[in-house]
């Protein structure tokens, strides 16, 4: 008897559901409804919405037929594009008239818009050579030949330098007061096995023991230190980390299934023993493949800004135009690199989107370029001193503590001058 009651209840529920759907469809098909009545909008979740999406897919407004019944922000943008290209009122909502037009023969397929030509970049200042008249003599490749070290620090003119027999570091500060904007260009040459070094504050438990970046640089005697992909923060907050490799060991292996344009989008830059750097977009390579290629370190933040000498499509698309502190690492050729550090969130430097440092890198000859973590994480440290000013965020002026750092060169003399 109980079995029949349950069956009767299920039949009743099915009948009520069918009745509700019938009423909804009757309302939407009602010829007495005004043409401007909104049928679907963002936040709705209906079976009919999937049919709308599939029709937009047929017309080329979606790239995939793997669609759901949710009217989300992506659908709002897609509907706006459809309305704009078909001469309809652009609202991002589907009205009675929109739906009728969409399923008619008059609906036009998607047309790729003509790209807007990029504005001509403002001419960059010429790269300044070392200005110290008392600098020691160097060999034909610019290195010291006598086994000594050379430090140069000129805060007023904005130039810092380190030279040895196998390492050259030259940092120049540039300004555009009219913006206002301040940025640092660090040119690095290496030979004889010198390479980018990485350190974790707690290798046994990555993502713990947060410290100031200048303290990490000083404790490791790094001549040059700069903040990396801030993967420890993602571990600490239990967020998706991406693929992170340090010193040949996989630390994190949790990539996206497709490339996104959020920040971080978990693109990668891999470092190899021959001094080369290579960018990879998220979801295009596995940790096993990276190790098989010989990757020593893989930095995971993103996006890739330059790959094989070409600007990445995400940069001119305008996804990353917010003015913030930025830090980008690029390779001109193996063992020759350019680090661009854009100061931001200060009175004398508002920061930039990613287009400015990307264009700068292209003009300087970078063929592989990658965006590291910026914002209040960004720190450029020379001889234990942070060169960029502290950034202000939410009425606080600070630099974030981190759990890892990239270093260049180790020297017993790489400590702040005031501590000597």
Both tokens of 326, joined, read: 């930025």
In the predicted model, is pLDDT for residue 137 greater than 90?
A: yes
138-165 tens-digit pLDDT? 999 999 988 899 999 999 999 999 999 9
Give yes or no: residues 160 and 81 share one domain: no
Note whether 295 and 253 are within 8 A (CB).
Answer: no
Query: Domain total for the chain?
Result: 2
User: Of 46, 81, 102, which marks where a domain is finished?
Assistant: 102
Residues 82, 155 within the same domain: no
Q: Is residue 178 part of a domain?
A: yes
Q: Which of 34, 69, 102 is the last residue of a domain?
A: 102
Task: Report yes or no on 121 lying in a domain.
Answer: no
Q: What integer is the mean pLDDT of 35-63? A: 92
**Residues with Cβ < 8 Å from 380, sequence gap 6 or more?**
171, 184, 186, 226, 327, 339, 341, 386, 387, 388
In a domain, 324, yes or no: yes
Render 108-163 in DSSP notation, one character per residue: PPP-PPPPPPPPPPPPPPPPPPP--TTPPP--TTS--SSS--EEEEETTTTEEEEE
Residues 285 and 362 in one domain: yes
Q: Write the DSSP string, 41-60.
A: -TT-B-HHHHHHHHHHHHTT
154 inside domain: yes
Q: Give residue 396's pLDDT.
A: 79
Which of the listed residues 74, 102, 130 is the one where a domain comes to its end? 102
pLDDT digits 0-9 by tens, 289-324: 999 999 999 999 999 999 999 999 999 988 899 999
3-47: pLDDT as tens digits: 555 555 554 554 444 334 444 443 445 667 899 999 999 999 999
Are both 278 and 180 inside the same structural domain? Answer: yes
Is the pTM here over 0.75, yes or no? no
User: Do residue 371 and residue 274 come from a single domain?
Assistant: yes
- Whether the pLDDT of residue 111 is over 70: the answer is yes
Domain check: are 69 and 156 in the same one? no
Rounded CA-CA distance 174/157 in Å is 10
Q: Is residue 305 situated within a structural domain?
A: yes
pLDDT, residue 17, reads 44
In a domain, 126, yes or no: no
Give the best-scoring range by mean pLDDT among 47-51, 157-161, 413-417: 157-161
Q: In terms of residue numbers, what domain contains 94? A: 26-102
Distance CA 348, CA 357 (A): 18
pLDDT of 408 above 70:
yes
> Residue 113: what pLDDT?
73
Do both 161 and 66 map to the same domain? no
Write the pLDDT tens digit of every residue in 345-398: 999 999 999 999 999 999 999 999 999 999 999 999 999 999 999 877 777 788
Considering the domain architecture, whether residues 351 and 249 belong to the same structural domain is answered as yes
What CA–CA distance (Å, rounded) separates 152 from 250? 37
Cα separation of 55 and 357, whole Å? 41
Contacts of 225 (CB under 8 A, 6+ apart): 213, 214, 216, 217, 379, 381, 382, 405, 406, 407, 408
**Does one domain contain both 87 and 187?**
no
Would you state the structure tokens that stand for residue 360, as one six-digit string? 């700068």
Instruction: Return the pLDDT at 21.
Output: 41
User: Do 375 and 277 share a structural domain?
Assistant: yes
In a domain, 200, yes or no: yes
- What per-residue confidence (pLDDT) applies to 22? 40
* Same domain, yes or no: 223 and 301: yes
Contact criterion met (CB below 8 Å) for 237 and 261 = no
381 bridge partner residues:
225, 386
- Mean pLDDT score of the chain: 90
Average pLDDT score over residue span 199-218: 94
Instruction: Summarize the confidence of residues 257-265 as an average pLDDT.
Output: 92
Residue 88: give its domain's CATH number: 1.10.101.10
Do residues 158 and 288 both lie within one domain? Answer: yes
Q: Which pLDDT value is given to residue 213?
A: 96
- Residue in this structure with the two tokens 């260049």, named with its chain if needed: 408
Q: Between helices 47-58 and 2-29, what is the axis angle to 10°?
A: 50
């Amino acid at each position: 008897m109980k079995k029949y009651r349950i069956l009767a209840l299920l039949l009743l529920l099915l009948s009520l559901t069918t009745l509700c759907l019938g009423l909804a469809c009757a309302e939407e098909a009602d010829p007495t409804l005004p043409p401007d009545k909104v049928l679907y909008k963002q936040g709705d979740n209906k079976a009919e919405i999937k049919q709308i999406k599939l029709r937009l897919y047929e017309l080329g407004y979606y790239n995939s037929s793997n669609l759901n019944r949710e009217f989300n922000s992506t659908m709002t943008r897609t509907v706006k594009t459809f309305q704009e290209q078909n001469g309809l009122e652009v609202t991002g909502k589907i009205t009675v008239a929109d739906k009728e037009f969409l399923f008619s023969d008059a609906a036009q397929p998607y047309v790729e818009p003509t790209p807007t030509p990029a504005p001509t970049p403002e001419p960059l200042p010429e790269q300044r050579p070392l200005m110290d008249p008392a600098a020691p003599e160097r060999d034909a490749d610019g290195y010291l030949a006598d086994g000594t070290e050379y430090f140069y620090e000129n805060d007023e003119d904005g130039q810092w330098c380190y030279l040895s027999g196998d390492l050259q570091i030259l940092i120049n500060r540039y300004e555009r007061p009219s913006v206002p904007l301040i940025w640092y260009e660090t040119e690095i040459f290496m030979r004889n096995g010198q390479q980018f070094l990485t350190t974790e504050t707690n290798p046994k438990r990555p993502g713990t023991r947060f410290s100031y970046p200048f303290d990490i640089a000083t404790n490791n005697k790094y001549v040059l230190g700069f903040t990396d992909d801030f993967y420890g923060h993602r571990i600490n907050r239990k967020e998706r980390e991406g693929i992170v490799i340090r010193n040949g060991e996989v630390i994190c292996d949790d990539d996206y299934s497709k490339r996104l344009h959020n920040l971080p989008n978990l693109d990668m830059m891999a470092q190899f023993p021959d001094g080369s750097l290579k960018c990879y977009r998220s979801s295009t390579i596995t940790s096993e493949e990276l190790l098989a290629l010989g990757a020593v370190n893989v930095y995971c933040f993103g996006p890739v800004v330059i790959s094989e000498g070409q600007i990445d499509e995400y940069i001119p698309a305008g996804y990353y135009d917010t003015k913030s502190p930025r830090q980008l690492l690029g390779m001109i050729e193996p063992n020759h690199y350019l680090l661009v550090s854009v100061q931001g969130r200060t009175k004398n430097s508002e920061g930039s989107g990613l287009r400015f440092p990307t264009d700068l890198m292209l003009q300087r000859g970078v063929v592989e370029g990658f965006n590291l973590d910026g914002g209040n994480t960004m720190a450029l440290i020379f001889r234990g001193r942070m060169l960029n000013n502290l950034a202000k965020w939410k009425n606080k002026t600070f630099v974030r503590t981190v759990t890892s750092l990239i270093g260049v060169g180790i020297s017993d003399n790489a400590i702040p001058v005031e501590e000597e």
